[in-house]
Structure 1
């Protein structure tokens, strides 16, 4: 197994997804463009202290908003996760943990507000595109607590959490994506090495490594310069013979990195805020549905934005 060549090393960007003073670090598309990152649409990274504290049961710092046409993973390493949606889900989870949605034909959701003031919240929100024929599937949702996130001892001083896809022989991550991907959170202690890892599944032709904390001394034997926190490595995953990866953490500090691998869709992308479709007419139809109040087409019958309206004993199963 040969090592993958490095196509380029990019720098994360800073974005303001909420239109206010709140900012996140963004690996892609700010660092790696959408064509190169395909099928991955977005990776936002946040690491900050909670400034408002616990919210009311119906109050969310990230207020209710719609999505359609892609899959979402909210992966938290610290803090407490909290979520509500139009499928009737109201979930809180400890960390490291994850919530995911395949938004399909549409969901409305809100999140945050599960932490005491001053609590450090570290995590990622990752968007993955769906194939055109899957964009209008019924939405799906899952909550993954710490004990259900597979943790693997890769080598001395190296661990990995498998978030999505197949890795390390019989291990499969719990994020059920519409398009085949792998997502693995790697943590290396100072001076440790992974050795040569045969991680990237055959047929996947996108591979990226986002170093979000610490420093990699070398990646795939490239010693020209260390890969610093905030940088993204784009690999050449076009060869089935050269799919290996070897990481060495700096001797001064460890490193944490997210590995992304996937199969390119190579389909048109029309992106309008929280809606990702293939044509402008599909975007316009979604906007019409939002204005008419018929979005999302699949939802619970009670007012999902007010938990007190949920009928006692009634199933949370959504209906069309």
Structure 2
């Protein structure tokens, strides 16, 4: 079991499957996932707090690749009610930006007026880029954002003329038109990179394990709730840890 307060989670699976979620709200189905055959990618808004488990394991010979993306939210939204949902792959727009360059719009606004499938409290942009060998992308971060990072997770190429390989991160200031654009190019192999852009909250962060708040006092209050049996504050009216207690329509499907 894992306890989380309050950061939203988005899981993007590139290969393999997204395993079942079990939490104090309900238990959710496992969905096969991948590119381009994904059925659904889940999102989880932890809000005032959840306690959950993720079941399943990767089978022998099966490859599982993906991202767990955690987003910070303003202090005024940190204790909102938890929520869960999924987005089918068909709702995630895919755009051909240039010859050999494909982009999946995961969240936020895009150049042509379209928006990504996942909605966030705080304005963000998340784009999954795929470049075929020898292709090039010139991209500009939306003007409403002031910070950005590009994470190369497959292949080798160049970002702004500098070599970039797997696990390379490029940080951009993005506070002015002069600094918010970049060029990503692929060499002899395909390159895949994830873009994360947003607007800084400019709020303090207090972090202890899976709990992220704004002050140490709020962290202590959360642990007091856990120790006192008052956590999580929102839950389903049955014992989600006992399979026999589940309503028939809430039984996990795997």
Normalised to the residue count of structure 2, the TM-score between the two structures is 0.90
Equivalence for 1:258: 194
| Runs of 5+ unmatched residues, structure 1 | 1-63, 315-320
Deviations 1:184-241 (A, max 9, x none): 11010110112x323x22221111100111012x323x2xx41111110001201045
Equivalence for 1:126: 69
Per-residue deviation, 1:312 = 3.6
Runs of 4+ in 1 over 4 A off after TM superposition: none
Equivalence for 2:116: 173
Equivalence for 1:238: 175
Contact map agreement 2:6 2:79 (CA 8 A) in 1: yes
Equivalence for 1:80: 17
Q: Does 1:310 align with 2:246?
A: yes
Deviations 1:119-155 (A, max 9, x none): 1000111111110000001112121232222221111
Per-residue deviation, 1:313 = 5.5
Of residues 194, 197, 203 in structure 2, which corresponds to 1:267? 203
Q: Does 1:103 align with 2:103?
A: no
Please give the alpha-carbon distance, in whole angstroms, between the structure 2 residues aligned to 1:259 and 1:313. Answer: 38
Equivalence for 1:247: 184
Please give the alpha-carbon distance, in whole angstroms, between the structure 2 residues aligned to 1:119 and 1:174. Answer: 27
Per-residue deviation, 1:112 = 4.1
Please give the alpha-carbon distance, in whole angstroms, between the structure 2 residues aligned to 1:160 and 1:304. Answer: 38
Equivalence for 1:158: 101
Equivalence for 1:117: 60
Secondary structure at the aligned position of 1:75 is classed as: strand
More strand by share: 1
Q: Does 1:187 align with 2:130?
A: yes
* Cα 1:104/1:213, change in 2 over 3 Å: same
| Runs of 5+ unmatched residues, structure 2 | 35-39
Per-residue deviation, 1:88 = 0.7
Equivalence for 2:37: none
Of residues 64, 79, 84 in structure 2, which corresponds to 1:136? 79
Contact map agreement 1:93 1:145 (CA 8 A) in 2: no
Normalised to the residue count of structure 1, the TM-score between the two structures is 0.72
Per-residue deviation, 1:308 = 3.2
Deviations 1:151-193 (A, max 9, x none): 2111111111111111142322222222111111101011011
Deviations 1:251-283 (A, max 9, x none): x11100000101101111000110000111111
Deviations 1:85-111 (A, max 9, x none): 221131211213421112110111112
Please give the alpha-carbon distance, in whole angstroms, between the structure 2 residues aligned to 1:114 and 1:126. Answer: 20
Secondary structure at the aligned position of 2:130 is classed as: strand
